[in-house]
Amino acid sequence: MGLFDRHAQLLDFYRGVQASGADPIGVTMERVLSPTEAIINGKRTLLVGTNNYFGLTFDPACIEAAVEATKAEGTGTTGSRILNGSYTDHTDLERELADFYGMKHCMVFTTGYQANLGLISTLVGEGDYLIIDADSHASIYDACKQTQATIIRFKHNDPASLEARLRRLDKEKGNKLVVVEGIYSMLGDTAPLKEFVAVTKRHGAYIMVDEAHSLGALGEHGRGLVEEVGVLDEVDFVVGTFSKTLGAIGGFAVSNHDGFDVLRLATRAYMFTASLPPSIVASVRAALRVVRARPELKTKLWANVATLYDGLAAAGFTLGPQHGPVVAVQLPDLPTAIALWRALLDEGVYVNIAGLQATPGGVPLMRCSLSAAHSKAQLEQVVDTFVRLGTSFGLLKPLKRAAVG
């Protein structure tokens, strides 16, 4: 058996996708024009699948900060913080993030994936318990493989399911860490976090909240679901990413626990990779200032969410359970999803197809993500295109007369 043979089935599967005329993984943005438009296949295309929630990738202040930092400090750090040391900008960013959350400690990682992978796998070890939501992101599942802790899964967004599992572990001595997400990346649904925190505390466990998709989008100051539901001072760890609302790349974790900094000596995903380059740190710091200074971006984002979600719902599409910066259109099967995805792209609308990898319940999705930078006209165009194609694909469920759009 050759090295690549174990993936033969996967390759066959993907060749089947390509044979149907679509190549979702092969999309090349020939030129990115703005947070909402790019040239794809030579055609001006609306971007509705890039997690660019505040549209800050082209924010003049963020760009300027990145350019200045590159000129002043160079293109990269060429090493890890434990060997090459930290730049002042790294420690400034950590201080600013800790301050943003009102927490004592912050660690910055080179990607959000590494933040979850490193932190979760280092916090719990042999004899401990890691209790995760069934619909957790791949970075959380991958962390499970890197720890000796015992892994237990609970039903997605179900506090009773979590409580049953914690109760069964009540007599166990090890530490218990519960991991949930603020907004789930596939269906855009929000965790019942207040309930999760209460259950967790009742059973003496720790709780970590991944705010990757909720930073900026939720909470009066954009701190995420922890702020929105008022549990910021009750959660043990908040992790997040710089690659969505903050428009760059990188990850972070904040905590009030004394002793948190020992993780810098123990977290391999932090220790054995190069630190973020000056340009990224600078643009993230600038983006964080934008989040603080311009709450109207959050308002605009949610107005855009309403335009897309309500427009698609009124037309009879089956969507995720609630408004969210991610709006997911549920489709009956993968071939339909692939064909619709391709047709949308041909019509100049880029969204994500979810279903080639795992999705909740195995339901294929057209995953749309909104941006404050989208105009209402752009989103109306997206709705129109979806409705036109959805009609020709026979995807729209008949609406009851009483139903409100």
- Of 7-15, 145-153, 228-236, 304-312, the window that binds other proteins (rule: CB under 8 A) is 145-153
Q: Show contacts with other proteins in window 109-138 (CB under 8 A).
A: 134
CA dihedral for 106, 302, 320, 226, sign (positive or negative): positive
The answer to the question of residue 289 lying near other proteins (CB under 8 A) is no
What is the rounded CA–CA span in Å between residue 324 and residue 224? 12
Rg (the chain; Cα; Å): 22
Tokens 């300027």 sit at which residue? 64
Q: Which is nearest to 232 in space by CA: 246, 245, 222?
A: 222
What tokens appear for 312 in the block? 């698609």
Binding mask 362-391 for other proteins (x = CB under 8 A): x-----------------------------
Shortest distance in whole angstroms from residue 152 CB to other proteins: 6
- Of 144-152, 296-304, 336-344, 371-379, the window that binds other proteins (rule: CB under 8 A) is 144-152
- Of 105-113, 155-163, 239-247, 385-393, the window that binds other proteins (rule: CB under 8 A) is 155-163
Among positions 37, 163, 181, 228, the unique one binding other proteins when judged by CB under 8 A: 163
Kindly list the catalytic residues.
185, 213, 244
Among positions 31, 71, 167, 388, the unique one binding other proteins when judged by CB under 8 A: 167
Q: Which is nearer to other proteins, 144 or 269 (CB)?
A: 144
What is the rounded CA–CA span in Å between residue 193 and residue 380? 33
The answer to the question of residue 153 lying near other proteins (CB under 8 A) is yes
Give CB contacts under 8 A, 24+ apart, made by 73-78: 73/278, 74/277, 74/278, 75/277, 75/278, 75/279, 76/274, 76/277, 76/278, 77/274, 77/275, 77/276, 77/277, 77/278, 78/274
Q: Is 373 exposed, middle or buried (0-12, 13-18, 19+ CB in 10 A)?
A: buried
What is the rounded CA–CA span in Å between residue 124 and residue 116? 12
Q: Site size for other proteins, by CB under 8 A?
A: 18
- State the distance between the two ends of the chain, measured CA to CA, in whole angstroms: 55
Among positions 100, 101, 109, 154, the unique one binding other proteins when judged by CB under 8 A: 154
The answer to the question of residue 358 lying near other proteins (CB under 8 A) is yes
Shortest distance in whole angstroms from residue 264 CB to other proteins: 28
What is the rounded CA–CA span in Å between residue 242 and residue 280? 9
Among positions 80, 146, 161, 273, the unique one binding other proteins when judged by CB under 8 A: 161
Among positions 17, 40, 143, 144, the unique one binding other proteins when judged by CB under 8 A: 144
Non-local CB neighbours of 94 within 8 Å, separated by 6+ positions? 106, 107, 108, 252
The answer to the question of residue 201 lying near other proteins (CB under 8 A) is no
Among positions 105, 165, 213, 323, the unique one binding other proteins when judged by CB under 8 A: 165
User: For the residues of 177-194, what is the DSSP string, one character each?
Assistant: EEEEESB-TTT-PBP-HH
Q: Which is nearer to other proteins, 161 or 318 (CB)?
A: 161
What tokens appear for 51 in the block? 């997690």
* Residue 252 amino acid letter: F
Q: Which is nearer to other proteins, 33 or 164 (CB)?
A: 164
Shortest distance in whole angstroms from residue 358 CB to other proteins: 5
Q: Which is nearer to other proteins, 32 or 152 (CB)?
A: 152
The answer to the question of residue 155 lying near other proteins (CB under 8 A) is yes
Where does this chain bind other proteins (CB under 8 A)? 134, 144, 150-155, 160-161, 163-165, 167-169, 358, 362
